[in-house]
Amino acid sequence: MKKTILVFIMAVFFVAGALPARSASPDPTESLRGPLNEVMRILSDPRYKSKDKDVKARQHDALWAIIRSVFDFTEVAKRALAQNWMRFSMAERKEFRDLFAELLGNIYIEKIQGSFEGEKVVFAGQEMVTADRAEVKTRVLLANGTLPIDYSVMKKDGRWVVYDVKVEGVSLVKNYRTQFNQILLSDTPAAVISLLRDKVAKQKRGEKVEG
């Protein structure tokens, strides 16, 4: 059950970046409130309740459209690779970012579509780390308690975007960083890209792929 909830939160993470601001300079919490409400609306929409593949594909596209337009995948890619980012050529960085984004989006959207059970998210405050970085704290209300989720956000081009999320203190970015670092200890950037390319190809064939 805990794993299911974790998957749900990771999917919400992607759409919790920031939609176009209503005001010139909303604070981090207000920047997240609208997108969180929007993803809940899409997940709860009766039009998407059918198990029909075409219906689920349309819901997937609706969620992915938000992800694609508001999430800074370059930032998360850089942080997931850390110092290894410098080992990648410009072309490799772009391909890594695009494949990583597609892989994550497909994994978590697919899982959230099958696990969402009407959970509610409430905001529990924010902490300004610097003038352009902050941590927005939320709590997921479960039947048997609450699950703390903290979003790391940064101000970019006048709006707040999410670049990491911590579930019970565990960072999504650091989790992938550990995996990529392990590969790059003995292999090349091309090997990492090849691995991601293979996983995305399997997803397109309808095969199940884990992170």
What residues contact residue 146 under an 8 Å CB cut-off, 6+ apart? 139, 140
Q: Confirm whether 32 is domain-assigned.
A: yes
Predicted local confidence at residue 112, as pLDDT: 72
- pLDDT beyond 70 at 205: yes
For 97, the domain range is 2-204
**Mean pLDDT confidence for 109-138:** 85
Residue 209, in any domain of the structure: no
166 is a domain residue: yes
Q: How many domains does the chain have?
A: 1
Which amino acid is located at 95 in the chain?
A: E
pLDDT in tens, 26-58: 799 988 888 778 888 888 888 888 888 899 889
Residue 148 in any domain: the answer is yes
Instruction: Work out the average pLDDT over 111-120.
Output: 73
Q: Name all contacts of 145-154 with Cβ < 8 Å and 24+ positions apart.
A: 147/5, 147/9, 148/124, 149/9, 149/12, 149/13, 149/121, 151/13, 151/16, 151/32, 153/18, 153/28, 153/31, 153/32, 154/72, 154/75
- Measure the CA–CA gap between 39 and 36, rounded to whole angstroms: 5
Establish if 24 belongs to a structural domain: yes
Distance CA 166, CA 146 (A): 14
pLDDT over 70, % of the chain? 87
Domain membership of residue 11 (yes or no) is yes
56 belongs to a structural domain: yes
> What CATH number is associated with residue 112?
3.10.450.710
210 occurs within a structural domain: no
pLDDT tens-digit map of 66-102? 777 777 889 999 999 999 999 999 999 999 999 999 9
